[in-house]
Chain A
Amino acid sequence: KNQVEQSPQSLIILEGKNCTLQCNYTVSPFSNLRWYKQDTGRGPVSLTIMTFSENTKSNGRYTATLDADTKQSSLHITASQLSDSASYICVVSGSITGTASKLTFGTGTRLQVTL
């Protein structure tokens, strides 16, 4: 069964500190992996998309890594800010279901940045 598992479920860090969120997946075949940020009460917003051949991608203070051999990804947040408080969702795209690529969503890591 295709699954995306994220850890930790929740995390509290002090403003200015770094953190790393983990994503393990069993989706096969693999096409691409996405990280989304979801603020409370809002829709998810894309941070990065990585295909099979990419092993790192940055978007400002966010850096995602991908190891397609071990089926693991991480999202590293540098110098955290209060505005980084949100849920971070890992999404893996794999097989084609019907007429479109299927996206499998993780349950997210809830990050709280405090003073």
Chain B
Amino acid sequence: NAGVTQTPKFQVLKTGQSMTLQCAQDMNHEYMSWYRQDPGMGLRLIHYSVGAGITDQGEVPNGYNVSRSTTEDFPLRLLSAAPSQTSVYFCASRKGPLQPYEQYFGPGTRLTVT
């Protein structure tokens, strides 16, 4: 199993550009989520999904869009990049949304917006 994969590893955008961060998991997990990690702060939840076709907002959703058309894939779209979105983004998955299942993280995407 590859676990949770993310592409790209690094990305530089100009303000106003849009892009999609890709995330895939091969563990047949119901629950997938996106976090951002900024210096001096804990990981913060952007959006999450409890199954194909079902998504919900986390604590910092503004400026981001998600969809979940399959169990495996959960892309994160930046609609119009802003310097405040410079961060490291992690995709994560776990078996289900409620029980204390182990959560697996991808390797991260380091995004810089100039």
Contact = CB atoms under 8 A, between A and B. Distances in A.
Interface of A: 4, 31-32, 34, 41-46, 49, 51, 89, 93, 96, 98-108
Chain B interface size range: 20 to 34
Nearest to B41: A107
B105 A45 contact: yes
Most buried by B among A96, A99, A107: A99
B31 A43 contact: no
Contacts of A49: 100, 102
Interface of B: 4, 31, 33, 40-45, 48, 50, 54, 56-57, 90, 92, 97-98, 100, 102-108
B97 A99 contact: yes
B97 A103 contact: no
Given A41-B108, A44-B105, A100 B100 contact: no
B42 A101 contact: no
The A contact surface, by secondary structure, is strand
Contacts of A96: 98
A51 to B, nearest CB: 6
A43 B106 contact: yes
A33 B57 CA distance: 23
A99 B100 contact: no
Contact of B42 (A31, A99, A107): A107
B106 to A, nearest CB: 5
